[in-house]
Amino acid sequence: MTAFTRVPCRPLDRRLALVGAVVAGGLLLAGCGGNHDTKDAHDGSAKGATATSGATASSAAGAFSDADVSFAQMMIPHHEQALEMAGLADDRASDARIKSLAGRIEKAQDPEIATLKSWLRDWGKPEKASPGGMPGMDHGSDGAGGADGMDHGSGGAMGGMMSEKDMRKLEAAKGAAFDRAFASMMIDHHKGAITMAKDEKENGRNAKAKKLADDVIKNQSAEVTTLRTLLDRL
């Protein structure tokens, strides 16, 4: 009886090895391709996030016009002078109602100054306009604005601003004399702010600036009424 010797099927082994190599290579390529796609997706997400962030920052500043910028630039020094006047009342006024109103002015206008300055920063505009570009400025040395060069008439863009002479007079007054001077000057000062606020509401574009202008008109008109009543009784 003849014995049979089993011979390995080498061609089949080679074919299986080849198939395995092809499969492994395909998996490797797929893995590389997956990493590339992930990187692209990550880069795309990052770019999208950056674009969204930029758009958010832009919208935060809000649309604005030259009228909005002028309103902020002029209202800052206007409010600052009101705070200076109100600060004098603490140790000069004799009427408790004058002191109380001065305190309300400080409480309302100090935060508004900070808000106005933040808008100008967001808009990329300076807090102070150039003298040549500031409306309501009287550059003549003998003009109605006095030494500080501002037009203090109630009809000017910076209407209601006190001159240096006015401020020295108020600072020197005490008691009932201060109360009367403060009430009279603050009425004119508020009327100037109201005029500027009305101009902003008519010509401005920024919604927040127009809302602040509306608040100025409402609050300072009420204070003008109170001041007139006080002045009649002082």
What mean pLDDT do residues 170-174 have?
97
pLDDT at 234: 86
Buried b (16+ CB within 10 A) or exposed e, 8-23: eeeeeeeeeeeeeeee
Dmax (CA) of the chain: 143
Task: Evaluate if residue 47 carries a pLDDT over 60.
Answer: no
pLDDT at 17: 47
pLDDT at 144: 36
pLDDT at 131: 65
- CA 46/CA 41 separation, integer angstroms: 9
Structural domain includes residue 84: yes
**Residues 79/127, Cβ–Cβ less than 8 Å:** no
Mean of all residue pLDDT scores within the chain: 76
**Residues 176/234, Cβ–Cβ less than 8 Å:** yes
Specify the 3-state DSSP secondary structure of 9.
coil
pLDDT at 158: 74
Task: Report in angstroms the alpha-carbon separations of 7 from 3, 4, 11, 215.
Answer: 13, 9, 11, 101
Specify the 3-state DSSP secondary structure of 150.
strand
**Residues 122/60, Cβ–Cβ less than 8 Å:** yes
Structural domain includes residue 95: yes
Q: What percent of the chain is modeled with pLDDT above 70? A: 62
Q: Which of 80, 105, 76 is nearest to 90 (CA)?
A: 105
- Indicate the range of 21-30, 67-76, 158-167 predicted with least confidence: 21-30
**Residues 124/130, Cβ–Cβ less than 8 Å:** no
Give the side-chain half-sphere CA count within 13 A for 203.
Answer: 13
Structural domain includes residue 150: no
What mean pLDDT do residues 154-169 have?
80
Per residue in 95-154, pLDDT (tens digit) is 999 999 999 999 999 999 999 999 999 999 999 887 655 544 333 333 333 333 344 333
pLDDT at 152: 38
Structural domain includes residue 117: yes
**Owner of token pair 């962030």:** 53
pLDDT at 32: 45
Structural domain includes residue 45: no
Structural domain includes residue 56: no
- DSSP H helix total and E strand total for the chain: 6, 0
**Domain enclosing residue 228, as ranges:** 70-129+162-233
Structural domain includes residue 34: no
Cβ neighbours of residue 185 closer than 8 Å, sequence gap 6 or more: 85, 162, 166, 170
Structural domain includes residue 27: no
**Count of CB atoms within 10 A of residue 172's CB?**
12
Specify the 3-state DSSP secondary structure of 226.
helix
Per residue in 15-35, pLDDT (tens digit) is 444 445 444 454 433 444 444
- Give me the CATH number covering residue 112: 1.20.1260.10
What mean pLDDT do residues 188-199 have?
97
Q: Give the total number of structural domains in the chain.
A: 1
Rounded to two decimals, the pTM is 0.66
**Residues 192/78, Cβ–Cβ less than 8 Å:** yes
For 146, which DSSP code?
A: G
